[in-house]
Structure 1
Amino acid sequence: MAGKDVLREIRKQLEPHVGEKIKLKANRGRRRTYEKEGVLESIYPSIFVVRVDEPNYFQRLSFTYADVLTETVELTFGESKRRRSASL
Protein backbone atom coordinates (compact mmCIF):
# COMPACT_ATOMS: atom_id res chain seq x y z
CA MET A 1 0.00 0.00 0.00
CA ALA A 2 2.97 2.32 -0.42
CA GLY A 3 1.30 3.82 -3.51
CA LYS A 4 -1.60 5.17 -1.47
CA ASP A 5 0.84 6.73 0.99
CA VAL A 6 2.58 8.58 -1.86
CA LEU A 7 -0.74 9.90 -3.18
CA ARG A 8 -1.75 10.93 0.34
CA GLU A 9 1.56 12.80 0.71
CA ILE A 10 0.98 14.66 -2.58
CA ARG A 11 -2.46 15.67 -1.33
CA LYS A 12 -1.01 16.92 1.98
CA GLN A 13 1.54 19.01 0.10
CA LEU A 14 -1.17 20.60 -2.06
CA GLU A 15 -3.55 21.44 0.82
CA PRO A 16 -1.70 24.57 2.05
CA HIS A 17 -1.86 26.02 -1.48
CA VAL A 18 -5.66 26.03 -1.84
CA GLY A 19 -6.67 29.48 -3.08
CA GLU A 20 -3.24 30.29 -4.51
CA LYS A 21 -2.47 31.13 -8.12
CA ILE A 22 -0.76 28.34 -9.99
CA LYS A 23 0.55 27.55 -13.44
CA LEU A 24 -0.17 24.11 -14.76
CA LYS A 25 1.23 22.19 -17.66
CA ALA A 26 -0.83 19.17 -18.65
CA ASN A 27 0.04 16.44 -21.11
CA ARG A 28 -3.12 15.05 -22.65
CA GLY A 29 -1.43 12.50 -24.90
CA ARG A 30 -0.66 12.39 -28.61
CA ARG A 31 1.49 15.49 -28.40
CA ARG A 32 -1.36 17.54 -26.96
CA THR A 33 -0.14 19.66 -24.09
CA TYR A 34 -1.45 22.88 -22.72
CA GLU A 35 -0.35 25.44 -20.20
CA LYS A 36 -2.84 27.43 -18.16
CA GLU A 37 -2.83 29.79 -15.20
CA GLY A 38 -5.48 29.50 -12.56
CA VAL A 39 -6.30 29.06 -8.90
CA LEU A 40 -6.12 25.81 -6.95
CA GLU A 41 -9.78 25.86 -6.00
CA SER A 42 -10.39 22.75 -3.94
CA ILE A 43 -8.95 19.46 -2.74
CA TYR A 44 -10.93 16.22 -2.57
CA PRO A 45 -9.90 12.69 -1.51
CA SER A 46 -9.14 11.57 -5.07
CA ILE A 47 -8.91 14.76 -7.15
CA PHE A 48 -8.04 18.44 -7.02
CA VAL A 49 -9.73 21.23 -8.99
CA VAL A 50 -8.08 24.18 -10.73
CA ARG A 51 -10.20 27.18 -11.80
CA VAL A 52 -8.86 28.75 -15.00
CA ASP A 53 -9.79 32.42 -15.34
CA GLU A 54 -8.60 33.88 -18.62
CA PRO A 55 -10.30 36.44 -20.86
CA ASN A 56 -13.13 34.69 -22.71
CA TYR A 57 -12.21 31.41 -21.02
CA PHE A 58 -13.60 30.18 -17.71
CA GLN A 59 -13.29 26.54 -16.86
CA ARG A 60 -12.69 24.19 -13.97
CA LEU A 61 -10.19 21.43 -14.61
CA SER A 62 -9.87 18.40 -12.36
CA PHE A 63 -6.86 16.15 -12.00
CA THR A 64 -5.95 13.17 -9.87
CA TYR A 65 -2.97 12.99 -7.55
CA ALA A 66 -1.72 10.14 -9.74
CA ASP A 67 -1.48 12.70 -12.59
CA VAL A 68 1.05 14.62 -10.49
CA LEU A 69 2.87 11.41 -9.55
CA THR A 70 3.24 10.31 -13.19
CA GLU A 71 4.14 13.87 -14.25
CA THR A 72 1.14 14.09 -16.57
CA VAL A 73 0.47 17.38 -14.77
CA GLU A 74 3.13 19.77 -13.51
CA LEU A 75 2.19 22.53 -11.08
CA THR A 76 4.07 25.73 -10.33
CA PHE A 77 2.91 27.78 -7.35
CA GLY A 78 3.02 31.57 -7.17
CA GLU A 79 6.04 33.60 -8.12
CA SER A 80 8.50 31.37 -6.30
CA LYS A 81 8.57 28.85 -9.15
CA ARG A 82 8.30 25.88 -6.80
CA ARG A 83 7.47 22.94 -9.00
CA ARG A 84 5.50 19.95 -7.78
CA SER A 85 6.22 16.66 -9.46
CA ALA A 86 6.81 13.03 -8.62
CA SER A 87 10.06 13.94 -6.87
CA LEU A 88 8.21 15.55 -3.94
Structure 2
Amino acid sequence: MVHTIDTIRDLVRQQQGSRIFYRAANGRRKKEERTGVIKEIYPSLFTVYIESQKSTVSFSYADVLTREVDVQIESTGESLL
Protein backbone atom coordinates (compact mmCIF):
# COMPACT_ATOMS: atom_id res chain seq x y z
CA MET A 1 0.00 0.00 0.00
CA VAL A 2 1.28 3.44 -0.91
CA HIS A 3 1.15 5.79 2.06
CA THR A 4 0.52 9.50 1.70
CA ILE A 5 -0.08 12.23 4.24
CA ASP A 6 -3.83 11.79 3.71
CA THR A 7 -3.78 8.03 4.31
CA ILE A 8 -1.66 8.47 7.44
CA ARG A 9 -4.06 11.16 8.70
CA ASP A 10 -6.96 8.74 8.19
CA LEU A 11 -5.10 5.93 9.99
CA VAL A 12 -4.35 8.21 12.95
CA ARG A 13 -7.95 9.47 13.00
CA GLN A 14 -9.19 5.85 13.25
CA GLN A 15 -6.98 5.37 16.32
CA GLN A 16 -7.96 8.58 18.13
CA GLY A 17 -8.35 7.79 21.84
CA SER A 18 -6.23 4.63 21.54
CA ARG A 19 -3.16 3.92 23.63
CA ILE A 20 0.00 3.89 21.54
CA PHE A 21 3.71 3.30 21.95
CA TYR A 22 5.95 5.63 19.97
CA ARG A 23 9.65 5.79 19.25
CA ALA A 24 10.97 9.12 17.99
CA ALA A 25 14.39 10.35 16.93
CA ASN A 26 15.39 13.03 19.38
CA GLY A 27 18.65 14.40 18.05
CA ARG A 28 21.89 12.61 17.31
CA ARG A 29 21.80 9.00 18.45
CA LYS A 30 19.01 9.69 20.92
CA LYS A 31 15.67 7.94 20.86
CA GLU A 32 12.61 8.82 22.89
CA GLU A 33 10.26 5.94 23.68
CA ARG A 34 6.96 6.60 25.42
CA THR A 35 3.42 5.34 25.81
CA GLY A 36 0.49 7.71 25.45
CA VAL A 37 -2.99 8.31 24.08
CA ILE A 38 -3.79 9.98 20.75
CA LYS A 39 -5.83 13.00 21.82
CA GLU A 40 -6.33 15.59 19.10
CA ILE A 41 -6.27 15.38 15.31
CA TYR A 42 -5.45 18.49 13.29
CA PRO A 43 -4.94 19.00 9.53
CA SER A 44 -1.14 18.86 9.72
CA LEU A 45 -0.39 17.21 13.08
CA PHE A 46 -1.74 15.10 15.93
CA THR A 47 -1.15 15.23 19.67
CA VAL A 48 -0.34 12.44 22.11
CA TYR A 49 -0.95 12.78 25.86
CA ILE A 50 1.86 11.21 27.91
CA GLU A 51 0.27 10.14 31.19
CA SER A 52 3.53 9.42 33.03
CA GLN A 53 4.75 12.97 32.44
CA LYS A 54 1.35 14.66 32.38
CA SER A 55 2.35 16.40 29.16
CA THR A 56 1.41 16.48 25.51
CA VAL A 57 3.66 16.01 22.49
CA SER A 58 2.77 16.62 18.86
CA PHE A 59 3.87 14.94 15.66
CA SER A 60 3.30 15.81 12.04
CA TYR A 61 2.00 13.21 9.63
CA ALA A 62 5.21 13.77 7.65
CA ASP A 63 7.17 12.54 10.70
CA VAL A 64 5.27 9.26 10.51
CA LEU A 65 5.60 9.06 6.72
CA THR A 66 9.39 9.55 6.83
CA ARG A 67 9.64 7.20 9.83
CA GLU A 68 11.08 9.86 12.11
CA VAL A 69 8.36 8.60 14.46
CA ASP A 70 7.34 4.94 14.71
CA VAL A 71 3.83 4.56 16.12
CA GLN A 72 2.54 1.21 17.36
CA ILE A 73 -0.99 0.51 18.57
CA GLU A 74 -0.58 -0.86 22.09
CA SER A 75 -3.58 -3.23 22.05
CA THR A 76 -2.53 -5.03 18.85
CA GLY A 77 1.21 -4.36 18.80
CA GLU A 78 1.09 -3.53 15.11
CA SER A 79 2.76 -0.52 13.57
CA LEU A 80 0.65 2.28 12.13
CA LEU A 81 2.49 1.92 8.79
* TM beyond 0.5: yes
Percent identity at matched positions? 33
- Is structure 2 residue 63 aligned with structure 1 residue 67? yes
Of the three residues 69, 76, 81, the one matched with 1:80 is 76
Structure number having the greater strand percentage: 1
Q: Give me the CA root mean square deviation.
A: 1.2
Amino acid at match of 1:77: I
2:21 aligned partner = 23
Q: Which has the larger radius of gyration?
A: 1
Amino acid at match of 1:52: I
User: Offset at 1:82?
Assistant: 1.2
Greater shift after overlay, 73-82 or 62-71? Answer: 73-82
Higher relative contact order (Cα pairs below 8 Å, separated by 6+ residues):
2
Using the size of structure 1 for normalisation, the TM-score is: 0.84
Mapped partners of 2:74, 2:24: distance in 1: 17
Q: Structure 2: where are the runs of 5+ without partners? A: none
Secondary structure, in 3 states, of the residue corresponding to 1:61? strand
User: Offset at 1:25?
Assistant: 0.5
Structure number having the greater helix percentage: 1
Equivalence map 1:26-41=2 (5 Å): 26-41=24-39
Mapped partners of 2:55, 2:25: distance in 1: 17
Mapped partners of 1:29, 1:66: distance in 2: 17
Q: Structure 1: where are the runs of 5+ without partners? A: none
- Is structure 2 residue 2 aligned with structure 1 residue 12? no
Mapped partners of 2:33, 2:22: distance in 1: 6
